[in-house]
A and B are shown apart, each in its own frame.
Chain A
Amino acid sequence: MSEATHAADHHPALAHHFRSLPEQKEAASLGMWAFLAQEVMFFGGLFLAYAIYRALYPRAFAEAAHHLDWKLGAFNTAVLIGSSLTMALAVHAAALGHRKKIVTNLLLTIVLGAVFLGVKVVEYRDKFAHHLVPGPGFQFDGSDPRAAQVFYSLYFAMTGLHALHMIIGIPILATLAWLARKGRYSPAYHTPVEMTGLYWHFVDIVWIFLFPLLYLIHG
């Protein structure tokens, strides 16, 4: 065992079934990546459905997508990428032991996440106002309203589940900020910050694909 692990042997965060903190962190990372692999399959099914229906109804999808505001979508993309940066900076601060910077960056991540969700609320409200929510009240002035309804079903399923991931992530970030403020995390042990970072970056990646596929269809 390397000398780096000696100090960690009696670290309060070290579970008894691990020999060292790095070993514990490696196990946590693998568990997190297994979870993210499952998430890839989870969203993958929706992307697959999208691909099939868009291939079937290319014109209706392009028409339906024109009712989405690409400016709001682009703004939210920038906001979410910004939140990924602050998340990465929180992990960076934790690795260096800068307690205050961890808290600041986590809070910034929460604020940017909330801005994203706020824009999403504005967008959803607009879809309700214009009868573009799938169901009996759906109205679409285009060549194929039923196919347009399929587009909006996928839009709400994909962006809704994406937003749900953020709604789950924000309280976790808040908890981390609270614990970081109390001094729970150090350069030797900040695995929860890192693992939550992986989750947040994954959510960012999903949006990176959703934005062009939903907002920027040519036609």
Chain B
Amino acid sequence: MSEHTHPARPAPDPGHSADHVVPLGTYLAVFAALMVLTVLTVAASRVDLGMLNTPVALGIAIVKAGLVILFFMHVKYGSRLIALFLAAAFGWLALMLVGTGADYISRGPVDPRPDRPVVPGSPTP
């Protein structure tokens, strides 16, 4: 990276912080990483990983989203309050997904169509 790179994260100082100018090289490196990860997503989908297919695809997507959030959206350089807002968003999302998911898993066979009993996870008849 260039000499503009800050050696350490400066202390967040919401009221007074001057604009942190992220070096151009960082943006280009993040872009390259995102493209490589996109190729990796497609490549992974060509291989049968069994149960791991979806977790691998989601894992790569989470890494990509993390890169966009930290560097393109400047969360790495922003105040802690913004990081807290971000954490709150994903915290509530996790509550919704886990809470509803737990409900569906613990109910046993569920199908909105009464004439077609289907067990979750089994192939559709």
State the A residues within 8 Å of B (CB).
1-2, 4-5, 19-20, 22-23, 26, 29-30, 33-34, 36-37, 40-41, 44-45, 47-48, 51-52, 55-60, 70, 74, 77-78, 81-82, 84-85, 87-89, 92, 95-96, 143-144, 146-147, 187, 194, 197-198, 201-202, 204-205, 208-209, 211-213, 216, 218
State the B residues within 8 Å of A (CB).
14-19, 21-22, 24, 27-28, 30-31, 34-35, 38, 41-42, 45, 48-49, 53-54, 57-58, 60-61, 64-65, 68-69, 71-74, 78-79, 81-82, 85-86, 88-90, 92-93, 96-97, 100-101, 104, 110-111, 113, 118, 120-121, 123-125
**B54–chain A nearest beta-carbon distance, Å:** 8
Which residues on A sit within 8 Å (CB–CB) of B69? 201, 205
Which residues on B sit within 8 Å (CB–CB) of A2? 16
Contact for A87 among B41, B72, B104, B121, CB less than 8 A: B72
A-B contact list, 9 entries, CB within 8 Å: A22-B14, A30-B82, A37-B86, A56-B111, A58-B123, A88-B71, A92-B21, A144-B124, A216-B41
Question: Complex Cα distance A218/B58, Å?
Answer: 13
**B23–chain A nearest beta-carbon distance, Å:** 9
Which residues on A sit within 8 Å (CB–CB) of B18? 4, 22
Contact for B27 among A52, A70, A85, A147, CB less than 8 A: A85
Question: Complex Cα distance A201/B70, Å?
Answer: 11
Question: Complex Cα distance A78/B40, Å?
Answer: 13
Main secondary structure on chain A at its contact with chain B?
helix
Contact for A218 among B27, B42, B48, B90, CB less than 8 A: B48
- List 11 extra interface pairs beyond A22-B15, A29-B78, A211-B41, CB under 8 A: A20-B16, A22-B18, A29-B79, A40-B93, A45-B96, A59-B123, A74-B38, A74-B42, A92-B22, A208-B64, A209-B61
